[in-house]
Structure 1
Amino acid sequence: MKYNHEIQKRRTFAIISHPDAGKTTLTEKFLLFGGAIQTAGAVKSNKIKKFAASDFMEIERQRGISVATSVMSFEYNGILVNLLDTPGHKDFAEDTYRTLTAVDSVILVVDSVNGVEEQTRRLMEVCRMRDTPVIVFINKMDRDGKNRFDLLEEIEAELKIQLHPMTWPINSGKDFKGVYNLHDKNLVLFTAGTKAADEDVVELTDISVELLDNKIGEKDASLLREDVELVDGVHGELNVTDYLAGKVAPVFFGSAINNFGVKEMLDTFIRIAPIPRCRMTSVREVCPDEEKFSGFIFKIHANLDPKHRDRIAFLRVCSGKFERNKYFHHVRLDKDVRFSNPYTFLARDKDVIEAAYPGDVVGLFDTGNFKIGDTLTEGPNFYFTGIPSFSPEIFKEVVNKDPMKTKQLEKGLLQLTDEGVAQLFTQFGGNKKIIGCVGELQFEVIQYRLLQEYGASVEFRAQPYYKACWITSADHKKLDEFTKFKSNNIAEDKDGHLVYLAQSEWFLNTERTNNPDIEFHFTSEIHKETA
């Protein structure tokens, strides 16, 4: 238990949501509370426009969306919070899925007007796979939205998780008056256009007191008393053990843009959220309090700073102590590496650190040694499991518009696909480069970044494929025969693994039936064992 004090004071979590639910706004409010930024929209591109502190890529600023996971650290009430802000857009879901492997809990933002949306469902499925503890923040209560009881019922039914309200709203939309804190038994009053201050918190010895009627009116006070009696009768006190097991999600109501209801949630998060947890490896479970260092790469980002052609690998520390200039073992490459300038992050700002502990996310300057899922250890050989690449859904051939920039294009494609924004396939026995993505927007981002960061101009040509499946077989002869016979549909991923590109579900099912000796995999994780 050498580093127990450091482990106990860390909370590492991600904020997830459907696009436009207010996730990046909520991130900024957290940073304001932590004193990490002084004003909302602290990153400015010019004197007029203000942008979210966590959106640092030029294309994110232009489109107003987050397309890469940002990492931010700040202190709040003596706790070191590592916050990972994820892309909301479904086209970048894979980056979010991988980020969820690097956190210990999540805050899920739900828009009170739109309720549960498609992306929210998909993200919750990933959380449920890992029993990740979830806190729900129902945002935009100052807009006319769904009835509060209907909304809770919808979230429970759609996301298949039991909810436990921690605050309760008084009306919504233009009639929104604030929230009653069910845990602290106080009233927090809302005034449109202002952020909640200490004087807006009304201490109540009992919800039946006349002070409540004076503050919000008899009608609303009467309704609130009924609601609270009902909610308390159904839910009672929060069982923190059930929350930590991913069975129950505490719920808070508020308005992130008005900084309302955020502090109550942050205070509860600090109190109940899990400290860094044990993680499964190929050999055994590794726990944070072990003396020897271990960690894994869950994200790679090229050109974080456009002025310097840098490439940063994001490392989640899982056990022991990470130290600057100390040699650690790179399991896949079977070599020892050290880092003279490891970073922690506040959005675009980087600070060199001397040491990091379990739960921390460290940025490592990378010259091309890292791939997503790589493991660093202080000696033993194992790798952390559960960080797969998924089968893409859209495939396009890369067409080089400037043959003089072929080298730059090759470098750009390798670096961008190493980041995990897309997957690169090379047609078997040829040079045709095919990019596979989850959504159309990723192609825009790749095209833009290839031109801006590498000077390579490309266009994309749609390919008639439905799915990419990694293929393996214990019978090498059968695998050779299959790849020769189906050479037009066979490609290699950038690690040299064979992939079958199926034109349709029917073709895929036919090949699986006709080739029982060949296994078709929908994620690339099967290859980690042989890496």
Structure 2
Amino acid sequence: MQLLNLGILAHVDAGKTSLTERLLHTAGVIDELGSVDDGSTRTDTLALERQRGITIKSAVVSFPLDGVTVNLIDTPGHPDFIAEVERVLGVLDGAVLVVSAVEGVQAQTRVLMRTLRRLGIPTLIFVNKIDRRGARDEAVLAQLARRLAVPHVPMGRAAALGTRAARFVPGLGPAAPDTLADHDDALLAAYLDGGVPDGRLRAALADQTRRALVHPVYFGSAVTGAGVPELIAGIERLLPVADGDPSGPFSGTVFKVERSPAGEKVAYARIFSGTLRVRERIPFGSGGGEGGAAGVRARDGVGDRDDGQAGRRPVGRRVTGGPAEGRVTGLAVFDRGGELRQDSARAGRIVKLWGLGGIRIGDALGQPGQAYRHHFAPPTLETVVVPGSGTDRRSLHVALTQLAEQDPLIDVRHDEVRQETSVSLYGEVQKEVVQATLADEYGLHVTFRETTTICVERISGTGAAVEFNKKDGNPFLATVGLRVEPAPVGAGVGFRLEVELGSMPYAFFKAVEDTVRETLGQGLHGWRIPDCSVTMTHSGYSPRQSHAHQGFDKSMSSTGHDFRGLTPLVLVEALRRAGTGVYEPMHRFRLEAPADTLGALLPVLARLGAVPQRTGTQGPLAVLEGAVPAAQVHELEQRLPGLTRGEGELESAFDHHAPVSRGAVPGRARTDHNPLNRREYLLKVTGRVAG
């Protein structure tokens, strides 16, 4: 039996979950259709999803076709839960993008299609709700061409639009040969010579769809079932099945983590290669990503020893850390709408795994294979969580940490000084969902402070600092020298050595690197420094000294604590000398509005700091494209209906960070021991101030 891992994606309310129900019903997996309005769908299992009628967490359900078992993954449509969609993309063989025949191409539709195209995921388009009043067909096809700008092939036409009798009439239109010939020179030659046989045309369609060159378009209704059998036939004939060698080395990727009612971690993973068996021990980890000792590189450099002598020699070695390991205690695959416990699963399967207590979303299983990559921007908003009356702060922190396990982009920060916990979010709906989840699942009642924007810091120049063991008021038995330099956007934090790798124990080097990465989470203004190069220029330690009849004097030998305590002081001094700037998140925006409303729109855009970069017209509409500070997007959304008679349409998404150019430079409260204040820091870390 062949396997196909299929994602269902759409803008919120386009009908994804209803389509999932209809597919299961048509395939004979369920006898009765569930309803989003009634909260009875198979994939929206959370109480909160049923109450709100929206998908919050991705869900997997399986159904059989002739010769193909489809693992269907229903994903959220609301942009606040885009992280759930991101994690699914890396495990898909194909996708169905759902577009409403009434609303047409919407903001999230464009975001999703751009990502599907960039990743090369074969995608069918299903234009849903043709039975609804206001449904359109030709206008939606025009939007696909204009707003999505993708090659598409209508697989038929809609009839009786906007009525309960609406149906899909299959048949390739006259434009199909034109579209397909754009990607096939032989087909183009045959087309110009007088025509292409239908069989050859359909073979070219299947080939180009599997290569994500074109996108077949179906019309239908998830409510009435119109067009769904044809869509199912397209899924089976046009999308590629899962590949991977079941006898090869085991490799997989975790895309979802949840907790069982008993609190045990359960991982959802795609197996790309090999076969996984219950009771088997498997390595898992980040698959070679940044962080940890894997980033330590040794180079030629100066090593500072306790005797004060410096040496220079080529080193050229890389220090690497090993992944975690765990034993699989349980395994389930998805089968005919349910789960089936098995002793093993082979390449191509999506599985649920028990027993891997330290597992995280994005972890590679077995041999590192398909790496987890961020396809969408991280959250640009954060808010402080305020415990309600009777809510225990420790329990709240534990609950938020568990929610962050399920969504790693919910960054939980705890301020020990103010005893405050903050979380990063995509928007107000997600904040409401977090609030409801804490109340319903953990019995914790909270409110939130006003949402603020998350900035970053970037290094302006090069700076270096060093503190020597036992000199100039250094209370730590350690020598640490660091140089910081800017790095390109997206490069991450690089940590290198200009000292001899053998000049001190490896554990001390690792303590320095880990502390550097942690300290860079809060720059001079309190914001994270995401991209920079840090080089260790000096190192030194106090080895254990042996005294006759007394053994080793531990009080006079270095420990990891010394390096973890000294590194923040050296790093922030290097940052001071280099200088940092605060950068705010900027959204690219596309705004369509009646041309005669531009006079009212432009002054408001200017006041909000928006910079139009392109202006054009499409009939009676003006189209503005540009950049706007993320902090102003919410106000722009609120003002837009009044400025455009309710006819304006705004699409925005994070694009880049830009230097803060208006008002005071925003700072962020520190949650560490504040190495910017040496006296305060040493009092907290050592209990005294060095003389």
Determine whether 1:256 maps to 2:222: yes
Gaps of 5+ in 2: 181-195, 287-321, 458-489, 497-512, 531-570, 572-579, 587-628, 632-656, 662-691
Offset of 1:181 from its aligned partner?
A: 2.0
Name the counterpart of 2:396: 409
Q: Which amino acid aligns with 2:438?
A: L
For these two proteins, the number of residue pairs brought into alignment is: 439
Aligned-partner residue type, residue 419 of structure 1: Q
**3-state SS of paired residue (1:136):** strand
The alpha-carbon deviation at position 482 of structure 1 amounts to 7.5
Matches within 5 A, 1:314-329: 314-329=268-283
Q: Is the contact between residue 11 and residue 99 of structure 2 (CA under 8 Å) also seen in structure 1?
A: yes
Q: In the TM superposition, what whole-angstrom CA distance separates every residue of 1:160-189 from its partner, at most 9, and x where no partner exists?
A: 211112222224113855332226xxxxxx
Is 1:438 matched up with 2:399? Answer: no
Over the matched positions of the two proteins, sequence identity in percent amounts to 26
Counterpart amino acid of residue 133 in structure 1: P
2: CA distance, partners of 1:348 / 1:309: 24
Is the partner of 2:382 in helix, strand or coil?
strand
1:448–1:348 CA distance, 2 compared to 1 (3 A): farther
Taking the aligned partners of 1:337 and 1:49, their CA distance within structure 2 comes to 41
- Is 1:509 the counterpart of 2:678? The answer is no
Partner of 1:35 in structure 2? Answer: 28
Pick one of 238, 241, 258 that aligns with 1:272.
238
* CA RMSD between the two structures: 3.6
Instruction: Tell me by how many angstroms 1:335 deviates.
Output: 3.4
Q: Which amino acid aligns with 1:67?
A: I
For the 8 Å contact 1:70–1:347, the answer to whether it is kept is: no
Cα drift, residue 59 of structure 1: 0.5
CA shift at 1:422, angstroms? Answer: 4.4
Counterparts of 1:436 and 1:135, CA distance in 2 = 34
CA contact (8 A) 1:467 1:502 kept: yes
Is 2:343 the counterpart of 1:354?
Answer: yes
Bigger Rg over Cα: 2
Contact 2:156 2:218 in 1 (8 A): yes
Residues 500 and 96 of structure 1, relative CA distance in 2, 3 Å threshold = farther
Where 2:237 maps in the other structure, the secondary structure is helix
Q: CA deviation at 1:289?
A: 5.6
| Corresponding position of 1:455 | 443
CA positional deviation for 1:124 = 0.7
Q: Find the counterpart in structure 1 of residue 153 from structure 2.
A: 164
Alignment of 1:227-306 (within 5 A): 228=173, 237-238=201-202, 239=204, 240-277=206-243, 287-288=244-245, 291-303=248-260
What is the aligned partner in structure 1 of residue 493 from structure 2? 472
Structure 1 residues 102-117: aligned runs within 5 Å: 102-117=91-106
- 1:37-436 matches, cutoff 5 A: 37-41=30-34, 49=38, 51-145=40-134, 147-174=136-163, 178-182=167-171, 228=173, 237-238=201-202, 239=204, 240-277=206-243, 287-288=244-245, 291-303=248-260, 307-332=261-286, 334-345=323-334, 349-365=338-354, 368-377=357-366, 380=367, 384-387=371-374, 390-401=377-388, 405-420=392-407, 422-426=409-413, 432-436=420-424
Q: In 2, are the aligned partners of 1:300 and 1:418 still within 8 Å (CA)? A: yes
CA drift of 1:427 comes to 6.0
Q: In structure 2, what is the Cα distance between the partners aligned to 1:447 and 1:491?
A: 29
Verify the 8 A CA contact 1:69 1:95 in the aligned structure 2.
yes
Report the Cα distance in structure 1 between the residues aligned to 2:13 and 2:49, rounded to whole angstroms: 14
Q: Show CA shifts across 1:326-385 (max 9, x none).
A: 2212235723322222123479954312222222211123664111110111xx456624
| 1:245-302, Cα deviation, whole Å (9 max, x unpaired) | 211001111111111110111112112211125xxxxxxxxx5466111101111123
Q: 1:500 to 1:346 in 2, by over 3 A?
A: farther
Q: What SS class does the counterpart of residue 658 from structure 2 fall into?
A: helix
CA contact (8 A) 2:380 2:425 kept: yes
Q: Is the 8 A contact 1:167 1:179 kept in 2?
A: yes
TM-score, length basis structure 2: 0.57
Moved more, 13-22 or 48-57: 48-57
Q: Distance in 2 between matches of 1:393 and 1:101?
A: 23
The residue identity in structure 2 corresponding to 1:24 is T
Distance 1:453 1:347, change over 3 A: farther
